Amino acid sequence: MVRSIRLFSPVVCLIALAFLASHVVKADDTAATQPSAANGSIAVTVLDSDGKPVVKARVQLFAKKKVTEGDDAGAAKPKPMARGSTDEDGKFTFSSVASGEYRVAASYRKTGSRGSASVSVTDDASNATVTINLSAPSDNGGGGGATTAPSATPAPSAAPAGQ
């Protein structure tokens, strides 16, 4: 009896681990009861101050916290929902992302440079892109600049002046 329990226990642990590992990245885990397709993505490009791709930059995805009255702004350090490293082109893509508001942070250990950007994934624009320009660390704690754009449809071109 004891032997069968010892053999059965690792199997149960593996099943539980597989179930927990299949958790989909969501902007707000409290919204797990709401039906939301997690088929979006966020494509991140990390550039240095010269505009060159940064290889092996660390990128992290955070859910944007909704601030309500009475919340302590700096109560706890947020934990990343997902993380990765950029490839030789300075790119990394977070996949299986649900609709919501996110913050993407990037850093490069060798230079201590960092940056971040806000990005939205919506049902209409489920494949967002963000470019983060890393800047050297500063005393004021500011990060690098960033640009974001959904990769849905290109914006219409402006009409020439005088029309």
Going by their DSSP bridges, the two strands 146-150 and 82-85 should be labelled as unpaired
* β-pair type (127-133, 40-47): parallel
Separation CA 32–CA 29 (nearest Å): 5
Provide the residue ranges of all domains of the chain, joining segments of one domain with +. 35-67+79-150
**In CATH, what number does 35-67+79-150 get?**
2.60.40.10
- Per the listing, tokens 């490839």 go with 87
pLDDT (tens place) for every residue of the chain, 163 residues total: 666 666 666 766 566 655 555 555 555 444 443 445 678 999 999 999 999 999 999 999 999 876 555 555 556 778 999 999 999 999 999 999 999 999 999 999 999 999 999 999 998 888 999 999 998 776 544 444 544 444 443 344 444 444 4
Report pTM. 0.60
